[in-house]
Structure 1
Amino acid sequence: MGLCHGKQIQSPEIAEEDHATPQIEQIEEPLPKPETPKQPKFPFYVPSPLFGSYKSSPANSSVNSTPLRFFKRPFPPPSPAKHIKALLARRHGSVKPNEASIPEGSEVELALDKSFGFSKQFFSRYELGEELGRGHFGYTCRAKAKKGELKGDEVAVKVIPKSKMTTAIAIEDVRREVRILSSLTGHKNLVQFYDAYEDEDNVYIVMELCEGGELLDRILARGGKYSEEDAKAVMVQILSVVAFCHLQGVVHRDLKPENFLFTSKDEKSTLKAIDFGLSDFVKPDERLNDIVGSAYYVAPEVLHRSYGTEADMWSIGVITYILLCGSRPFWARTESGIFRAVLKAEPSFEEAPWPSLSAEAKDFVKQLLNKDYRKRITASQALSHPWIRGSQEVKVPLDMIVYKLIRAYICSSSLRKSALRALAKTLTPSQCFYLRGQFSLFAPNKNGYISLQNLKAALLKDSTEAMKDSKVLDFVNMVSSLQYRKLDFEEFAASTISVYQMEGWDNWERHARSAFEIFEKDGNRPITIEELASEFGLSLCVPVHVVLQEWIRHSDGKLSFHGFVKLLHGISSRPPLKA
């Protein structure tokens, strides 16, 4: 539902010494009157207030205030992003009658049920105070509790006018925001939800009051960027809460510096994730297709309308890039240009301060900003990355990708299992750090084995009510009911390595070659075209027959290196075995 926590709108003025080291400063503009907020025409396109160093950009346009970058070649032809403006306008009811065939004005009001079933006793329980911030669809105020458990305490109240709920989707967004906030409980980096109320005019969401300001403000106060050590401390908190949400089956969909608040002005105060107005539930094996978010932080797959929790990791990559260098990795002077850059351009790691930053920091950002979501690391994996874990003790939570990979492994043929076991043997102790951490969370017995039932037991320890809506438990129940022997760590590693993610590593070729050598000794055997086609669930038509022939060596009928790599990705046609 847009930004509702934070300070009043401010506009930056741009200053620049040179393009390699952009300087960031801030001047205040007159504050808008709370009674007459100006609604952006297209809420999705309101960019982050974080600005760059383009000297000639107008001060009142943060889209034009990004750092100057020179591309070696012009932008590619129009992308799927060109249709996004109309899609978002229809979602939020902000389109003109001649732009989309939706009812307007009173016609919409009459057709929509804006009763949420929340308590109507807000003003008998709370006294509203000053406004703290204003977003696309509402505003946030300070309030004081007059009765109940919170009596005398100050809280934050997000006020969402019902007059702005002009589509059924907008109404459902509010319902879902309250459902997500009320069901996600217990994490120290998640803003605490207290209750929700409504009256004829508004919905009131009562939450913990965070008085330390936005992460964006801290970035600006530091001259636009953080040191590596300070950036790590911020990222640990962000990754921790995002890993928690993803495990529960919740994708935030609007992660940006404005949506993280500090609890106090203290430099080491706790960081809290806020604003779940655009969040949604997602089952581990399903994809979302509606386009929401903030332009500079949106993932490529969101623009292609097929995404999951990996989209949040892209946004975290953008935040990390900004923290470390003070400028955005993708920018343009127009909205469509921003989207084309996200889809096609590569972030620069050549300009200052990147040459002076550690190789681990650059690798961390690159693994988050991989345009192929299958190669992008998860929040738990990011917490296990050498850049993060090198300087502090970090608790790495369960990772849902482990469940998905184990399911795929169990459904694979013995040939593919053998190939994956060979690949797992090439991992170094450092690369096994994350896998060993995940294995230990499943409570192996004294002999070092875990069963599939351990998978469910481990998840239930961290479950919240959100898992019911996201159907995560249904997915895990299906995995844990499969018929399979117990796993020791060696086979667990084979079953939970992601080949796609490894392909994103700089040393992937070396791993693949080493794994093929092991496979040649232990698992490679003569295989027919028919057997290979069955392995991939393919019908043996003429084109497929020709392709598969290239995967088999003519000298001995065994898999070639090319065929081995393809086998690592293969999916067996055999259905899962039920218990």
Structure 2
Amino acid sequence: MGCTISTKYRKKNEENFISNVNEIKIDPGLFVNENKKKFQDVYRVAQSLGTGAYGEVKTCFQRETGQKRAVKILKKDLMRSEIEKSYLLKEISILKSLDHPNIIRTFEFFEDLKRMYLVMEYCSGGELFTEILKRQSFSEGDAAKIFFQILSAVSYLHSNGVIHGNLSPENILLEEKRGSLSIKIVDFGSAILTSEKNTKLPKDGKAYYLAPEVYDGIYHDKSDMWSCGIILYILLCGHPPFDGENDEQIISLVKRSRVQMEGRIWERVSSSAKELIEKLICGPSSRLTAQNALKHVWFDSKLQSAIEKHHIVEAMQNLKEFHAPNKLKDAIITFVTSQYTSLKETKELREVFLSLDKDGDGRISKGELLEAFRNTIGEMEEIEVQRIMGEVDSDNSGFIDYTEFLKANIDTKKLLSDQNLKLAFSLFDTDGSGKISADEIKKVFQCDQPSDENVWKEIIKSLDVNGDGEIDLEEFKALVKLNINSM
């Protein structure tokens, strides 16, 4: 494994020199890399979920664990240029840097002579588009629940300098078939960074959802917000605001028409919902940002939290008692949490996380954490909250990200099973020798950052029980299970 993708698109601070162990930043993106094994040796492919311009998406099962995942299989001969191939590498690189409960999780990728394989989490509920066709329209309560999640993910993307570029109900998946309306945004093939805004993009999106300025070769974060407005319109009435017999007619309407909300179905829709739509489907200068849209009054009356207070109290207590492990153990726990936790393990915690994230930006700030403690456990000094942030915030971002929150709350004993530890050991044992060297630890952690070689030797030395300069599987297991009850 290791960091084989070009780091051109990573937003993390690659230029920072690592001079000591404490400067190593741990995040889930460290572990989303190319697997040099044959895809067919690691996964068993099952049924098709859909097709695209370059290939198809299928379900697959990891042979070692039986875990069900999804894989995007792309045929190289359908990619007519190196630029088209670079779009996939860019998509992977962007996905590596994202950690949000409403954005699809990516696990690893493979490449052979004919194909590239991008392995992601599987969502059994299918496309939001299909659910819209089935229901015709959503109640305002259900629409608000779905749309708030979309805005939260988009706000997170924009705050991290990413523009999705192709938001539509076809690119939003429902996590489960029935019951929950939890969603995941997928397909970052058209995504760009804000530093690249106002550049021409391949127009992969459907005409229904693209902002008028996109057809002039201009794209920015407000263009995503137009798409969000179109999605909300469709959720509430079942059809797009601008329709025609072909793309040319649709584009003409998009460029010159105002959104209309008339007819019997719109008589039942609240004025605040209509106002929100009008503030999204409008000129770029007047369009709301995702952050401002999350504060709209419509959500105050339509969005109801179903999370029970005792679950929040329990999570806050776990955060208070959490102590950061050493860097290698932290990396192992991050790897297992981000790649091998089940929906059953994370479903309730995700709802708690979202309830604590008051501004909906997909991360918990110091202020939000302080407010949550005061509303649940009681008064707490800011210095104590700062200490907790320091323990939980393993990538030193100044916020508690989603995976960091999960790490502090999931049952560590269950998480660190022998099977999961074996998988984690294989991650570091890149040459398959049965032992982990300082150089292999460096490959996983460093990701092209310059560093002091003694940093990696220090990690090995502190864990190498038999003194052979490497860590074997038994030493690895002993390290992870040491003081497990105190975590």
Q: Does TM-score exceed 0.5, indicating one fold?
A: yes
Q: CA deviation at 1:306?
A: 2.0
Matched residue type, 2:281:
L
Counterpart of 1:378 (choices 289, 299, 322) is 289
Equivalent residue runs for 1:341-356 within 5 Å: 341-356=253-268
Q: CA deviation at 1:269?
A: 4.2
Residues 121, 438 of structure 1: alpha-carbon distance in 2 compared, 3 angstrom cutoff: closer
Q: Does 1:461 align with 2:399?
A: yes
Deviation digits for residues 177-216 of structure 1, max 9, x if unmatched? 111122212x111111110101011100011111111111
Q: Secondary structure at the match of 2:157?
A: helix
Counterpart of 1:335 (choices 247, 251, 262) is 247
Matched residue type, 1:156:
A
Q: Does 1:124 align with 2:41?
A: yes
Counterpart of 2:234 (choices 299, 322, 338) is 322
Matched residue type, 1:244:
Y
Q: Secondary structure at the match of 1:235?
A: helix
Indicate the residue corresponding to 2:97 in structure 1.
Answer: 183
Residues 176, 440 of structure 1: alpha-carbon distance in 2 compared, 3 angstrom cutoff: same
Counterpart of 2:302 (choices 384, 391, 398) is 391
CA distance in 2: counterparts of 1:379 and 1:385, whole angstroms: 10
Counterpart of 1:195 (choices 108, 111, 116) is 108
CA distance in 2: counterparts of 1:439 and 1:287, whole angstroms: 34
Question: Higher relative contact order at CA 8 Å, sep ≥6: structure 1 or structure 2?
Answer: 2
User: Is this contact kept in 1: 2:123–2:176, CA < 8 A?
Assistant: yes
Q: CA deviation at 1:133?
A: 1.2
Indicate the residue corresponding to 1:294 in structure 2.
Answer: 206
Q: CA deviation at 1:287?
A: 3.0
Q: Secondary structure at the match of 1:211?
A: coil
CA distance in 1: counterparts of 2:368 and 2:192, whole angstroms: 27
Counterpart of 2:71 (choices 157, 178, 182) is 157
CA distance in 2: counterparts of 1:125 and 1:306, whole angstroms: 42
Matched residue type, 2:302:
S
Q: Secondary structure at the match of 1:143?
A: strand
CA distance in 2: counterparts of 1:123 and 1:262, whole angstroms: 27
Deviation digits for residues 228-264 of structure 1, max 9, x if unmatched? 1111111011111111111111111111111111121
Q: CA deviation at 1:169?
A: 2.5
Indicate the residue corresponding to 1:213 in structure 2.
Answer: 126
TM-score by length of 2: 0.56
User: Is this contact kept in 1: 2:153–2:361, CA < 8 A?
Assistant: no
CA distance in 2: counterparts of 1:360 and 1:342, whole angstroms: 23
Equivalent residue runs for 1:224-239 within 5 Å: 224-239=136-151
User: Is this contact kept in 1: 2:125–2:174, CA < 8 A?
Assistant: yes
User: Is this contact kept in 1: 2:365–2:399, CA < 8 A?
Assistant: no
User: Is this contact kept in 2: 1:155–1:206, CA < 8 A?
Assistant: yes
CA distance in 2: counterparts of 1:260 and 1:296, whole angstroms: 15
Indicate the residue corresponding to 1:172 in structure 2.
Answer: 86
Indicate the residue corresponding to 2:161 in structure 1.
Answer: 249
Deviation digits for residues 90-135 of structure 1, max 9, x if unmatched? xxxxxxxxxxxxxxxxxxxxxxxxxx97634211111111111112
Residues 331, 282 of structure 1: alpha-carbon distance in 2 compared, 3 angstrom cutoff: same
Matched residue type, 1:131:
S
Matched residue type, 2:257:
A
Matched residue type, 2:149:
Q
User: Is this contact kept in 2: 1:191–1:272, CA < 8 A?
Assistant: yes
Matched residue type, 2:280:
L
CA distance in 1: counterparts of 2:396 and 2:275, whole angstroms: 31
Deviation digits for residues 483-536 of structure 1, max 9, x if unmatched? xxxxxxxxxxxxxxxxxxxxxxxxxxxxxxxxxxxxxxxxxxxxxxxxxxxxxx
Residues 438, 152 of structure 1: alpha-carbon distance in 2 compared, 3 angstrom cutoff: closer
CA distance in 2: counterparts of 1:439 and 1:194, whole angstroms: 29
Q: CA deviation at 1:441?
A: 6.6
Equivalent residue runs for 1:378-457 within 5 Å: 378-392=289-303, 395-397=358-360
Residues 344, 438 of structure 1: alpha-carbon distance in 2 compared, 3 angstrom cutoff: farther
CA distance in 2: counterparts of 1:310 and 1:389, whole angstroms: 23
Indicate the residue corresponding to 1:140 in structure 2.
Answer: 57
Q: CA deviation at 1:282?
A: 1.5
CA distance in 2: counterparts of 1:221 and 1:279, whole angstroms: 29
Q: CA deviation at 1:314?
A: 0.6
User: Is this contact kept in 1: 2:211–2:226, CA < 8 A?
Assistant: yes
Across the aligned residues of Structure 1 and Structure 2, the Cα RMSD in angstroms comes to: 3.1
CA distance in 2: counterparts of 1:304 and 1:351, whole angstroms: 32
Identify the range of structure 1 (263-272 vs 160-169) with the bigger mean alpha-carbon deviation.
Answer: 263-272
Matched residue type, 2:222:
E
Matched residue type, 1:301:
E
Counterpart of 2:177 (choices 251, 262, 265) is 265
Indicate the residue corresponding to 1:281 in structure 2.
Answer: 193
Q: CA deviation at 1:389?
A: 2.6
Residues 243, 294 of structure 1: alpha-carbon distance in 2 compared, 3 angstrom cutoff: same
Q: Secondary structure at the match of 2:61?
A: strand
Q: How many residues align?
A: 297
Residues 267, 443 of structure 1: alpha-carbon distance in 2 compared, 3 angstrom cutoff: closer
Q: CA deviation at 1:296?
A: 0.8
Residues 236, 305 of structure 1: alpha-carbon distance in 2 compared, 3 angstrom cutoff: same
Residues 398, 191 of structure 1: alpha-carbon distance in 2 compared, 3 angstrom cutoff: closer
User: Is this contact kept in 2: 1:296–1:330, CA < 8 A?
Assistant: yes
Residues 246, 458 of structure 1: alpha-carbon distance in 2 compared, 3 angstrom cutoff: farther
Q: Secondary structure at the match of 2:195?
A: coil
User: Is this contact kept in 1: 2:61–2:68, CA < 8 A?
Assistant: yes
User: Is this contact kept in 2: 1:239–1:382, CA < 8 A?
Assistant: yes
CA distance in 1: counterparts of 2:396 and 2:169, whole angstroms: 32
User: Is this contact kept in 2: 1:126–1:144, CA < 8 A?
Assistant: yes
Identify the range of structure 1 (270-279 vs 288-297) with the bigger mean alpha-carbon deviation.
Answer: 288-297
Equivalent residue runs for 1:510-549 within 5 Å: none
CA distance in 1: counterparts of 2:301 and 2:43, whole angstroms: 46
CA distance in 2: counterparts of 1:374 and 1:273, whole angstroms: 25
Q: Which has the higher helix share?
A: 2
User: Is this contact kept in 2: 1:398–1:441, CA < 8 A?
Assistant: no
Q: CA deviation at 1:354?
A: 1.4
